[in-house]
Amino acid sequence: MNTLTSQYAETFQQETKMPKIIYYQNWSQQLIRQIYCLLNSDIDPKEKIAEILAIMGEAYRIDNVILLRIESSVCQIYNAWGIGDKSWLENFVYQQWFPLINCTQQYQVYQFCQGDSIFTNSRGNSPCKKIKDKGGFHCCILSLPVYLNQQFFGYLILQTEESERTFNPEEIDNLEIINHQLALAIQQIQWLEKMNEIKLENKKLQSYSEHKSDYLSHISHELRTPLAGILGFSKMLKEEIYGTLNEKQKQYVNGIRISGEHLLALVNDFLDLSKIEANKEELFIETVAVEDICLAAISIVQPKANEQNLDLILQLSDQVDFCTVDQRKIKQILINLLSNAIKFTEQGSVTLQVKKVDSLLTFCVIDTGIGIKEEDQKKLFQPFQQIHSNLSRRHKGTGLGLALSRKLAQLHQGNLTLTSEYGKGSCFTLELPLQK
């Protein structure tokens, strides 16, 4: 920094054949290169701004460099160099610089030099009103507007008490380049501040999400106990252990049992989903026979398929034998997919097809049901989203099954996808990576 300053002073004193403008150009290029290297360093951005102001002050041999921020007509001192007395700085900005800026157009480069005129880019002048207390006025001021992404930020002010000091057009052009680099450092600070705000907000949201999941898990646990009691008592009443019931009472007891089972299924799904979102769901991985998982799932939904006179088919590829998974959770996914397929198929069949595709083990649940419209497919895996149809109104669901099934598949590093054509059926595919 001092080297550049002394170099600038010496070159203009030397008697050489090379024009002075060449010396200045070389010097200014080195100055800009120094600031550019500073901007690309690992120094704290606020320190970079202080360094740039210092470089400008020493390189151009002036007394003070002031960076002002103006926001909503409120002016504040963003940074400054060369000023030891804060009260002097505030007096200079509010009592001397403000009257000057009112003499010319705002957002414009100008300089004032111990007189009654303001020079815009040193190429012309405009009348300036007499400034009160002229004796306290400091001799030369150059003011440059600062823009961030074409948005006005404030002013960069260079001030000196040297009575003969003025800034020529070449110096002003050079200072505008440095001013642009200064704006980049300010932007860097704003980006870092924004990133820190986002990180802090994310931590708050994460903490809120964890507390919410813990709370929901607790509530779900608390709901299970009374629901188990309701189902137990309704079962005893239905079996007429404590006395006979008339037809109307049997109807009500059956309604209590169905509603209780639906509510318990909702609580169980909600609890599982909350655990996954809170990263508290654990997998108990073991090697099991694929056929055993499929037959276990089919046995649970077989009665419902029989009621609707549907063919329930298992197609197991000869290449498929064992898989390494959490058996209970994979069975839970298959039961949910098969139950949904049966629910939305009035006639025909529901097929569970298992095969190897490249490095994946795929479980395809294929039905000949009503199919799913394209606009419904996009929201189907979201919690509490259900297809609106006559069949969905007839068969109530929790609205959580598919969302939970996809989450469980993703816990296994797999996925759950859908292909469907409205009116012709659907195919839900569970993809699991094969363990090597």
* 179 and 225 co-located in one domain: no
Are both 261 and 340 inside the same structural domain? no
Kindly state whether residues 187 and 212 are assigned to the same domain.
no
- Regions in the chain scoring below 50 on pLDDT: 1-9, 11-17, 116-118, 120-138, 391-395
Residues 183, 146 share a domain: yes
A 10 A CB-CB count for 155 gives: 23
Q: Domain check: are 38 and 83 in the same one? A: yes
* pLDDT tens per residue across span 240-251: 888 888 888 888
Query: What DSSP assignment string belongs to 39-64?
Result: HTSSS-HHHHHHHHHHHHHHHTT-SE
As a whole number of angstroms, the distance between CA 57 and CA 325 comes to 69
Stated pTM of the model: 0.49
Q: Name the domain boundary from 144, 177, 194.
A: 194
As a whole number of angstroms, the distance between CA 371 and CA 341 comes to: 10
Please tell me whether residues 297 and 352 are part of one structural domain: yes
CA dihedral 122, 59, 47, 194 (to 10 degrees): 20
Report the 10 Å Cβ neighbour count for 115. Answer: 12
Is the Cα torsion angle 154, 81, 97, 63 positive or negative in sign?
Answer: negative
Q: Are residues 426 and 411 in the same domain?
A: yes
pLDDT of amino acid 259: 81
Sheet with 415-421, edge to edge strand ranges? 311-316, 349-357, 360-367, 425-433, 415-421
- Please indicate, yes or no, whether residues 210 and 190 belong to a single structural domain of this protein: no
What pLDDT, on the 0 to 100 scale, is given for residue 416?
Answer: 94
Chain-centre distance for alpha carbon 411: 23
- pLDDT tens-place string over residues 37-60: 888 887 887 888 888 888 888 888
Q: Are residues 226 and 360 in the same domain?
A: no
Contacts of 47 (CB under 8 A, 6+ apart): none
pLDDT of residue 135: 46
- Could you tell me if 31 and 77 lie in one domain? yes
Is residue 32 domain-shared with residue 124, that is, in the same domain?
A: yes
The residue written with tokens 């306290």 in the block is: 136
Q: Domain span at residue 329?
A: 286-433
Cα angle: 340, vertex 344, 346; to 5 degrees: 135
What is the C-alpha to C-alpha distance for residues 30 and 37, in angstroms, rounded to an integer? 10
CATH number at residue 167: 3.30.450.40
- The answer to whether 348 and 368 are in contact (CB under 8 A) is yes
Is residue 412 domain-shared with residue 264, that is, in the same domain? no
Q: With H, G, I as helix, E, B as strand and everything else as coil, classify residue 208.
A: helix
Task: Give CA angle at 285 (411, 270), nearest 5°.
Answer: 45
Number of domains making up the chain: 3
**DSSP state letter for 76:** E
Question: 21 CB contacts (<8 Å, ≥6 apart)?
Answer: 170
